[in-house]
Amino acid sequence: MSLVEIESFTLDVQVVEASARVIHEVSFKLEAGQSIGIVGESGSGKSLTLRAIAGLSPENSVVGGKISFQGEEVSAMDRERLMQYRSSQVAMIFQDPRSAINPVRKVGDFLTENVVTNLGWSKSDAKTKAIEVLTEVGISNPEKQLKAFPSELSGGMLQRVMIASNLLCQPDLLLADEPTTALDVTTQSSVMALIDQLRLSRGMAMIFVSHNLELATAVCDKILVMYAGRIVELLPAENLREKSRHPYTRALLDARPRLDGRQNRLNAIPGQPASGLEWTQGCTFAARCAFAQDICRSEVPVLRKIQESDVACHRADEIDWDVS
């Protein structure tokens, strides 16, 4: 039994009275302690997929398929079980800690809210542990920081607080949604290193959403590439650079951010990114794909195994990527 099993996950959202599918037939598995990176342009459905694992979907949306955690279907959990699941088994780190942490409550309250409210810890226990984890994530003078308000801390510090808060309850799975994107370049790598180190030392599994391919390959075992609400390629991280086959993945690699950090959006692929909402007859990427042929415009490609990768491209085995 895998830690997380996603099978034919679909999501239909309400768009002006009508229902529209934004996530199409997403399936993958994550083993305990393993980490998967989900990459893709913005709007490709990364966050929706990630949140669905925590049982969190937009209002009025309809989830299809199956998402199970340790064999238990998330959508079948009752309210109480869901609370318990969220409070002790999964943890989430968001892109912008400044908006993800209630600005009018103290850092200490934020850190200990879950364990005090849901896990029944005493306030003093929680405080002692909070100081411990703050120290662990590299925050100096933790006692003082507990009394500080989020606005008094830098973004990097806040993200560390966010990470620390997730260590308190010892979850099995960490969901990280672009945890470094909003941080300045100099803190990005240290925060990422921290996440990686803590994850490994505690044996947590992780799903890491990013559009920084480099970062994803560095901290993940597998890479899952999404485009327009679909998985286009799933492959071992070490294979990404040299053995990836989907033209979209290749395009992402070419368009990866420059190291000076000035351009951190994946916008160098010609054409507009498509969202899962857009209905096409064939491959959604065909409109932007240099290799598209008639079949690409008429038939939706399905994931198929080519060597170690799963690729959804009609021409994946024809194109010879010259990676030198």
Ligand X SMILES: Nc1ncnc2c1ncn2[C@@H]1O[C@H](COP(=O)(O)OP(=O)(O)O)[C@@H](O)[C@H]1O
The residue ranges that bind ligand X (CB under 6 A) are 13, 22, 40, 42-48, 58, 275-277
Contact call for residue 82 and other proteins (CB under 8 A): yes
Contact call for residue 180 and Mg ion (CB under 5 A): no
* 131 versus 174: smaller Cβ distance to ligand X: 174
Joined together, the tokens standing for residue 318 give 């024809």
**CB within 8 A of 258, min separation 6: which ones?**
none
Q: Which of 118, 167, 120, 160 is nearest to 140 (CA)?
A: 160
Out of Mg ion, other proteins, ligand X, none, which partner does residue 44 contact, by CB within 5 to 8 A per kind? ligand X
User: Residue 217 and residue 196: Cα distance in Å, rounded?
Assistant: 12
User: Residue 270 and residue 88: Cα distance in Å, rounded?
Assistant: 43
Q: Report the amino acid identity of residue 182.
A: A
Q: Which of 39, 91, 164, 296 contacts other proteins by CB under 8 A?
A: 91
* 28 versus 85: smaller Cβ distance to other proteins: 85
Q: Which of 4, 36, 74, 101 contacts other proteins by CB under 8 A?
A: 101
CB of 221 to ligand X, least distance (A): 21
Beta-bridge partner residues of 9: 26
* 10 versus 84: smaller Cβ distance to other proteins: 84
Beta-bridge partner residues of 233: 225, 311
* 137 versus 252: smaller Cβ distance to Mg ion: 252
Out of other proteins, ligand X, Mg ion, none, which partner does residue 22 contact, by CB within 5 to 8 A per kind? ligand X
Q: Which of 34, 35, 44, 47 contacts Mg ion by CB under 5 A?
A: 47
Contact call for residue 94 and other proteins (CB under 8 A): yes
Q: Would residue 74 be called left, alpha or beta, if left means φ above 0 and alpha means ψ between -120 and 50 degrees?
A: alpha
User: Residue 22 and residue 12: Cα distance in Å, rounded?
Assistant: 6
> In Å, how far are 44, 93, 94, 271 from 181, measured between CA atoms?
16, 12, 10, 23
Out of other proteins, ligand X, Mg ion, none, which partner does residue 43 contact, by CB within 5 to 8 A per kind? ligand X
User: Residue 304 and residue 246: Cα distance in Å, rounded?
Assistant: 11
User: Residue 24 and residue 140: Cα distance in Å, rounded?
Assistant: 45
Out of Mg ion, other proteins, ligand X, none, which partner does residue 251 contact, by CB within 5 to 8 A per kind? none
Residues that bind other proteins (CB under 8 A): 51, 54, 56, 59, 82-88, 90-92, 94, 96, 99-105, 113-114, 117-118, 149-152, 165
